[in-house]
Amino acid sequence: MCLAIPGKILEASSVGLNRIATVQFGGITRQIYLDFVPDANPGDYVLAHVGFALSVIDQGEAERTYALLEEMGALAEDERGER
C-alpha cells in the first residue's frame, strides 16, 4: 500500500493550479503531480505514490549510503580474515 517507486522526471508543466510531470519508471511513463515537491525539476528522480511525488531522491545521500554498505562489507571481511 505504501509502495512508492523511484522514477525520472522527463518534463514538467503547469496545468491550472497544478504542476504535473511526465515521469519514467523503468519502461513506462506516467503523469505525476509535483505539488509536494515544488523544487523538483526535469532530470531529478522522485519517489511517487498514488500519482503524487513525495520526495526528490538525494543522489549524494544515495551514494553515501552505498559507500557505507561497501565499507561495512569490507569490515566484515577483515574480521573474518577472508581475502
Partner 1 sequence: MKYIDEFREPELIARTSAEIRRLADPARHYRFMEVCGGHTHAIYRFGLKDLLPPNIELVHGPGCPVCVLPMGRIDDGLAIAAQGGVVFTAFGDMMRVPGTQGSPLEHKARGADIRIVYSPADALKLARANPEKHVMFFAIGFETTAPSTALTLMRANAEGVRNFSVFCNHVTIIPAIRAILDSPDMRIDAFIGPGHVSTVIGCRPYEWIARHEGKPIVVSGFEPLDVLQSVAMLLRQLRAKEAKVENQYRRVVPWEGNRAALRAMAEVFTLRSYFEWRGMGFISQSALALRDSYAEWDAERRFSVPGIRVTDPKAAQCGEVLKGVLKPAQCKLFGNECTPERPVGALMVSSEGACAAYYQYEHRKSALVSIPA
- Residue 72 beta carbon to partner 1: minimum distance, rounded to whole angstroms: 5
Query: From the CB of 60, what's the least distance to partner 1, in Å?
Result: 8
Q: Shortest gap between Cβ of 11 and partner 1 (angstroms)?
A: 19
Q: Which residues bind partner 1 (CB under 8 A)?
A: 1-4, 6, 17-18, 33, 35-38, 45, 47, 49-52, 54-55, 57-59, 61-66, 68-70, 72-77, 79-80
C-alpha cell, 60: 549524494
> Between the CA of residue 21 and those of 14, 34, 39, 69, 74, what are the distances in Å?
9, 7, 12, 33, 41
Q: Of 10 and 75, which has the nearer Cβ to partner 1?
A: 75
Amino acid at 28: I
* Residue 10 vs 66, nearer CB to partner 1: 66
Question: CB–CB of 57/23 below 8 Å?
Answer: no
